[in-house]
A = this chain, B = another copy of it.
Amino acid sequence: MTTISNPKAFLTSLFDAAVSAADPAGTISRYLPKLPKGRTIVVGAGKASAQMARAFENVWDGPLEGLVVTRYGFSTPCERIEIIEAAHPVPDAAGFEASTRILETVEGLTEDDLVVALISGGGSALLPSPPNGLSLEDEFAVNRVLLASGAPISSMNTVRKHVSAIKGGRLAVAAYPAKVVSLLVSDIPGDHPQFIASGPTVADAANRQDALRIVGQYGMELPAAVMAHLNSSNADAPQPDDLKLVRAEHHIIASAAKSLESAADIAQKAGIEAAIISDAIEGESREAARTQAAMAKEILHRNRPFNKPVVLLSGGETTVTIKGKGKGGPNTEFLLSLAMDINGEANIHALSADTDGIDGSEDNAGAFVDGGTIAKMREAGMDPVTFLENNDAWSAFNQIGELFVPGPTGTNVNDFRAILIS
């Protein structure tokens, strides 16, 4: 049986692999299309689009022009691609201007031209684009109603795609007959391109009747002009067999899933089986920890549902409901709760860290815990329960020297958790 002599170094190597797999600068070159005879136009939208734009222009061996839109504060300096900032998650007029300019940029192209679409999470809010006859306020109203509806993301996207001039494949249709190659950083469980940023370059099978059914099912009260639009054939979105979309290509260049798979590869090369339990864990951080602790103990004591040694890997984004006044983020709070539940158990070691390198407000990405962490805190005179109640997990780990501080990574596919049971 493989033993890991230095669990912290092992867990860190998994984090490094996850981050490396999530960095467009490292992965984009694997997905480059051929140089076209004609022009190369880069467009894009999303929280990672500026970073993707820089990565693309650094490796693209030909002329290019274009613009991408990202969230306020998320710009990265680019030399050839224009970066526009707009509001997220509630759209604003800057986003409208960006989507209008993006649509103009891809108009009038020929079949010798290439459009590279750099799409990442958040792109839907960054591309408000009301269709003919509707106002920007109408589209904002749709977004507000959707967010309050309780409908799943797939249903929300179906409605959005039918109240937009750019989403649901319409950007790719506008670019026809140019070839459209979409490079995507996914923040969506399942990594289906049609769900990332409401799929501006991807059609899906949902149609206008589906959108109307969802509006009725969730009792969505939309503006009268929007309802009139949805009841007209103007709202029809392109379908997957649309001839203007058949040349479109899509490549996921980074995702939580790919990051977890990369970490799993590294674990397996070290002789440790890896179980990816989810790339999309959500909910209260300290509570998510309780289920993962129970699973770790089941493996430790009963070798099920996996044989030891094994590392449980998960992604996603948990949240902290702040009640106290301490310092910390979702990852350290997850870990402090986990440490309590595995207290006294030998042979469980865990790392949880934000793949962007920053967990919350301090300079750490996360921390390390094991079955001795709580004893270490108590020996230092600390009461872990009090620290957790005060949302002060950062201080708890800082005092015992167990913070994990790799520095900003320059990428983000949400949280990374690894629990080694050996």
Contact = CB atoms under 8 A, between A and B. Distances in A.
Interface of A: 150-152, 154-155, 189-190, 217-219, 257, 275-284, 287-288, 290-292, 294-295, 297-298, 301-302, 304-306, 314, 316, 340-341, 343-344, 374-375, 378-379, 383-385
A76 to B, nearest CB: 31
Contacts of A218: 378
Contact of A294 (B155, B278, B341, B344): B278
Given A219-B378, A378-B219, A298 B279 contact: yes
Nearest to A304: B276
Nearest to A313: B305
A150 B385 contact: yes
A340 B291 CA distance: 18
A307 B344 CA distance: 33
Contacts of A288: 287, 290-291
A154 B291 CA distance: 20
Contact of A278 (B217, B282, B291, B378): B291
Given A295-B277, A343-B152, A378-B219, A190 B290 contact: no
Contacts of A341: 282
Contacts of A297: 189-190, 278, 280
Contact of A290 (B276, B279, B283): B283
Contact of A287 (B154, B257, B287, B304): B287
A287 B283 contact: yes
A343 to B, nearest CB: 5
A294 B275 contact: no
A190 B301 contact: yes
Nearest to A153: B344
A209 to B, nearest CB: 16
A344 B154 contact: yes
Given A217-B378, A276-B304, A316 B344 contact: no
Contacts of A295: 277-278
A119 to B, nearest CB: 20
Contacts of A301: 189-190
8 contacts: A150-B340, A150-B374, A151-B343, A189-B298, A276-B298, A278-B298, A288-B291, A291-B291
Most buried by B among A275, A279, A288, A305: A305
Given A291-B288, A344-B154, A378-B219, A280 B305 contact: no
A150 B290 contact: no
A256 to B, nearest CB: 11
A257 B294 CA distance: 13
